[in-house]
Structure 1
Amino acid sequence: MREEEWRHEGSIRSDEGTIIVDMDHVLVESYMGVGFEWDPSDDYDYTDEQWAMIVERVAFTRAPLIRLMLRANAYTTGWDADGRPIYDWNTPMMLRAYRILDYCERHDIKVIIGEWSRSPEIGLTATDDAAWAELIGDFLVHMLDVKGYSVLLYYNFINEPNGSWATEDGNRFALWRRGMLHVRRMMEERGLTERIGLIGPDSSNEDDWVDLTVYALGDIVAAYDVHRYVNDHDIVSGDMERMVREKRDFVDRYDSEGAAKPYLMTEAGIVEGKDEAHDQQSRVKTFEYGLLMADFAIQTMRGGQAGVISWMLDDSMHRAPGYPAGSGQLKTWGFWNTVGDEADRALRPWYDPMAMLSRYCPRGSRIVYASDSGVPGVRAAAAVIPATDGGGHLTLVVVNHREEEQRIRLVVPDAAGRAVLRGYQYREDERTADAAGYPAPAFRIEDADLAEGMEMRLPGRSVLLLTTLEAGAEAGGVRFASSRNVARHRPVAVSSCQYSNEQGGECAVDGRRETAWVSKRRGDQWLAVDLEAERRIKRIKLLWGEGHARAFELAVSTDGERWTKIFERTDGAGEPEQICPEPLTARYIRVNMTEAGTTLGYSIRELAAYGEPREGVSP
């Protein structure tokens, strides 16, 4: 695709929608990345040729994070006459695990490591068996001290402990909690608590376990995680983002150290179309699966999760249940099948968007807010890769679920100067690849004026990824000239206030998202900010608290008497609002709320205005 077919830059504003990247609204301060499940195979020891194929494909993704699971019976063969465990650190399963971990160690890929469930083969039948925790302690000492792995980040005690396949019948959370406490005690006794953290609850499609973990184990977990296997509607509708955000907010609010703890999606997949009996998802071979999974990842970023792990890398890792032993039937969930025929060994379509996300939203990125496009089925996420000189790199990924091409205007108000961008596209009818068959840029933009904005043309049912990374040494990324929030700490007047000492109007302009103005009641309410001088305004941002307005308008004034309406919404859903009117001059900004969207009073966490003072007027 030629550049002129893709974008129109300049003052033209799309009639269909606008995406504004807000550098000041950070969703994840230090992103951990887009990774995948990479387990030692149940049955296969790969040949050198097979292994070379696997690691070449992994290398292209530049995966920053993986998850690796096994069982205690992989390293424990039984118990001696005195009841002491008998270890074998060189079983076939452990040798397969070392091969993966050695690769991760060489390439600085962080690892979440843990155990699937109990091991009845060696007598471990109880989730809260203290003897199991002792085995885990010896395992971690072996991996950290004997093998010397420095990339082990978190220990995951039991995969999906809320499921009947993982824990005994009864109060599963209570069982898992007791087991977690045994593991924590063991880690303290061995001096491991500063070397590897505990992550949980690792529950599947039961996010209330996050609440329970915050209350019961918040003082011992270093990170929170869940699994989600969803239907297509959960993704296309945007419900995933809401579900993620609810739990991110819960952790921040009720764990006293929660804001500093990552929240991850450690298994991500789509259940619609799955063969339940054999745990096989044939849709991984379709274009559509990649479209949905790309949006899955986008919504985890938008919801504030610090990373996402796709289930899974390679079919050959796990045999399928429900078939006779030795049938060769595998779980079909991977990007390919290493032990399959030529067609099965080929990269499946969904590898492309997930590899691009992994590669160009690297560990250490700052995930910032990309506004709602205004077009149903079109969503975006933005990652900023910081540099020490005040600049950095920018990656924007946009998904379009609609059948029709969409024209969406992209604006990065804080971008300074022009940038060089490379564009990757995921489309059913067109694939751009390099000589080795890996995804390659479809186009290059030499002089993108991101602050002014440019129009993106999104083909129907496609993913577009734009990045300044790898655009060439001469390109130099993008510089950011942070706009001044001229509303911060300015005088505020309000129609009413629920708690004047804690939730007054000043809370809407203090720059802190944990505070908010709250009105006494619903109905007609207003909040107005005095900028104390006439200002040139280019952008206004509105962040709602727990009580948002369904119907509201923004108005501006130079004298506080005569008001001009610049924005109106009658279908508000509590999403952050980014308003980019034509540049205007104002001293006062007022939010008029006429219909509540909840049963609560109205609540505004932040009202911000970006721009510069008029010439001759001091800031």
Structure 2
Amino acid sequence: MATTLPRSFALSIAASLICAASLSSAVYEETVVIDVDQPICRSFLGFGAEWDPKFWTMGTFEFKKDVAGPVAVDEADWELVRKRLTWMRVKLVRMMMLTGWCTTGDGTFTYDNAHMRSLFRHLDLCREEGIEVILVDWGVASWTKIDGFTGTDDPRYAQAIGEYLEELIVRRKYDCIRSLTLVNEPNLEAESFERWRDGVRAVRAELAKRGLAERVRLVGSDDCSPPYPWHKRALAEMPDDFAAWEVHRYATQKVVESGSLEDDFRALSTASRAHDASKPFLVCEAGMSDGMSAGQSPFIQDPIYGLFMADYAVQACRGGCDAVLAWMLEDNSHAGFTWGMWTNKAEGMALKPWFWTWSLLCRTVPRGSQLFAPAQPDGIRVLTARHDGRWTAVIVNRRDVAVDVRVVLPGAQGRPLCRYVSAGDVRAVDGDGFPMPTGEPLAADAADGVVIGCPPQSAVVATAME
């Protein structure tokens, strides 16, 4: 007869297994020391995600007509999304906008349709929860084409963007919209670099004319194709057109496991700051490229995806990125897409294993953190963060043996660190599926050293953040 263990008992077994792994005879100790005078980032913008505003339109890609009839999702589903975002403490999202939701390009605008109402609901939540929005106008040159505009460089397109931004930011007071990107992945979806460049400058002029230039900044280039020739051309020809730089990067498991992603990002972030070192550099879509299609990743339900994303995040931050946004938050955003941290309504909105990793990063390495990239042992990735005097250490053990890593965190005494561990299929969660710590809190020794046990092929977060 099958027996179901009580959830709390099952979790205690999982925790015991993880603790046992870290205390086995195969444990090796490494020491990592943090130099508080050498932060790699003085004010981190945060970990976040793509959250496209089509929850209430069932993820439809049909934007030229209104959505009629009932939808499958309801207010209870929406509150579940809010609960998860609130637990994650997400403070930065990237969000789609289609100009075709509010105009056909004939000079008239309508905001009373299902597409715009769904956008408003998403923006309402962001405003209420203090989540900053990078709004991305997806463009008008590919599948998003609108008959009333001739293309990306049409002055009327820039005017339309100015009009809907004035509606959103000034009239409806969505001051959570702080940034704008013109055209998603323009290296693929704009007609040419020249037409995109002229479009960016037309939008910039339109924002200035409407008094919006100080309220919403332009970020780009949104290039998605390493080695990023489009982005590098933007750096050379448009150094003053963007207030922040960003790209997309879908990396292979081989690149991430090798550790070379850090070097890739360091080179690109350094080049992006060459003209103005004060400009942030962001990764606005992050994910795994192995076997990917636009809508699918074959590894998205595999625990390996969580380990991959933790490793990716550490390397990106060590490489000079001021924010990393995962593609994507949840599967209700796009019909037929399964890249999210949880499934869509039809699949029960069930959490996927990588939610554990990314939600914990969002929660424990918050906006405003100082980041540190200490020298790290072979096969071990280390990123540490300090926020309001509280430390977080993110460690990815890529070795096939358990490792005890002693991390010296100046000032850590008196603030024990909770240890969260994900190793293969084993990770502790509460009744909502949210990460739980494993074992007793870790106390620093007299020299501010904290010994953090890391099972083989694991992601471990030790944090004093509550």
Pick the TM interval, shorter chain: 0.7 to 0.9
**Would you say 1:237 and 2:277 are equivalent positions?**
no
Report the Cα distance in structure 1 between the residues aligned to 2:446 and 2:152, rounded to whole angstroms.
54
Q: Which residue of 2 aligns with 1:401?
A: 398
Report the Cα offset of residue 337 of structure 1: 2.0
1:184 equivalent in alignment to 2:204: yes
- Deviation of residue 436 (structure 1)? 2.4
Q: Deviations over 1:359-417 (max 9, x none)?
A: 01111111122222x222x201111103xxxxx111110011233212333223x3364
Cα deviation for residue 208 of structure 1 reads 3.5
Provide the residue aligned with 2:346 in structure 1: 340
1:447 Cα deviation from its structure 2 partner: 2.8
Q: How does 1:489-568 map to 2 (within 5 A)?
A: none
CA positional deviation for 1:289: 0.5
Cα-to-partner distance string for 1:572-595 (whole Å, 9 max, x where unaligned): xxxxxxxxxxxxxxxxxxxxxxxx
What is aligned with 2:326?
310
Question: Aligned match of 2:79 in 49, 52, 55?
Answer: 52
Q: Is the CA contact (8 Å cut-off) linking 1:312 and 1:335 kept in structure 2?
A: yes
Q: Percent identical across equivalent pairs?
A: 32
Measure how far apart 1:162 and its partner are: 0.6
Task: Give SS of 1:248's match.
Answer: helix
| Residue 88 (structure 1) aligns with | 110
Contact between 1:197 and 1:221, CA under 8 Å: does it hold in 2? yes
In the other structure, the counterpart of 1:175 is 195
Aligned to 1:102: 124
Task: State how far apart, in whole Å, the 2-side matches of 1:333 and 1:108 are.
Answer: 25
Report SS of the residue matched to 1:225.
Answer: strand
- Residue of structure 2 in register with 1:41 after alignment: 54
> Structure 2: how far apart are the matches of 1:409 and 1:416?
13
Taking structure 2 as the reference length, the TM-score comes to 0.87
The residue type equivalent to 2:406 in the other structure is R
Residues 222, 247 of structure 2: 8 Å contact kept = yes
Structure showing the higher helix proportion among its residues? 2
Deviates more, 1:299-308 or 1:202-211: 202-211
Q: Greater strand share, 1 or 2?
A: 1
2:131 corresponds to 1:131: no
Q: Please state whether the residue corresponding to 2:282 is helix, strand or coil.
A: strand
Q: Is the CA contact (8 Å cut-off) linking 1:21 and 1:411 kept in structure 2?
A: yes
Say yes or no: does 1:431 pair with 2:447. no
Aligned to 1:366, which of 346, 349, 370? Answer: 370
Q: Which residue of 2 aligns with 1:158?
A: 183
Q: Aligned runs of 1:205-216 on 2, under 5 Å?
A: 205-206=225-226, 207-216=228-237
Q: Please say if residues 219 and 245 of structure 2, whose CA atoms lie closer than 8 Å, have aligned partners that are also in contact.
A: yes
Greater RCO, 1 or 2 (C-alpha within 8 Å, sep 6+): 2
The count of corresponding residues between Structure 1 and Structure 2 is 430
Distance of 1:196 and 1:314 partners within structure 2: 26
Return the offset for 1:6.
8.5
Residues 7 and 457 of structure 1 are in contact (CA less than 8 Å); yes or no, is this contact kept in structure 2? Answer: yes
Shift of residue 52 of structure 1? 1.5
Give how far 1:450 is off.
7.2
Please name the residue that 1:264 is paired with.
282
CA–CA separation in structure 1 for the residues paired with 2:371 and 2:162: 35
Find the aligned partners of 2:19 and 2:395 in 1 and give their Cα distance.
Answer: 19
Give the drift of 1:427: 1.9
Q: In the alignment, which residue of structure 2 is the partner of 1:202?
A: 222
Q: CA RMSD in A?
A: 2.1
* Structure 1 equivalent of residue 464 of structure 2: 468
Partner of 1:477: none
What is the DSSP-based 3-state SS (H/G/I as helix, E as strand, rest coil) of the residue aligned with 2:273?
A: helix
Deviation for aligned residue 1:314: 1.3
SS of equivalent residue, structure 1 residue 449: coil
Q: CA deviation at 1:88?
A: 0.7
Aligned to 2:12: none
Quote the Cα distance in structure 1 between the aligned partners of 2:401 and 2:243: 44
Q: Distance in 2 between matches of 1:125 and 1:239?
A: 42
TM-score, normalising length from structure 1? Answer: 0.66
3-state DSSP of counterpart to 2:211: coil
Counterpart of 2:5? none
**1:156 and 1:199 in contact (8 A); partners too:** yes
Structure 1 window deviating more from structure 2 (63-72 vs 215-224): it is 215-224
The runs of 4+ residues in structure 1 deviating greater than 3 Å are 1-8, 14-17, 416-419
Q: 2:95 matched to 1:68?
A: yes
Partner of 1:531: none
Which amino acid counterpart does residue 174 of structure 2 have in structure 1?
Y
Relative to 1, partners in 2 of residues 1:117 and 1:108: Cα closer, same or farther, differing over 3 Å?
same
Q: Which runs of 5+ in 2 are unaligned?
A: 1-14, 59-70
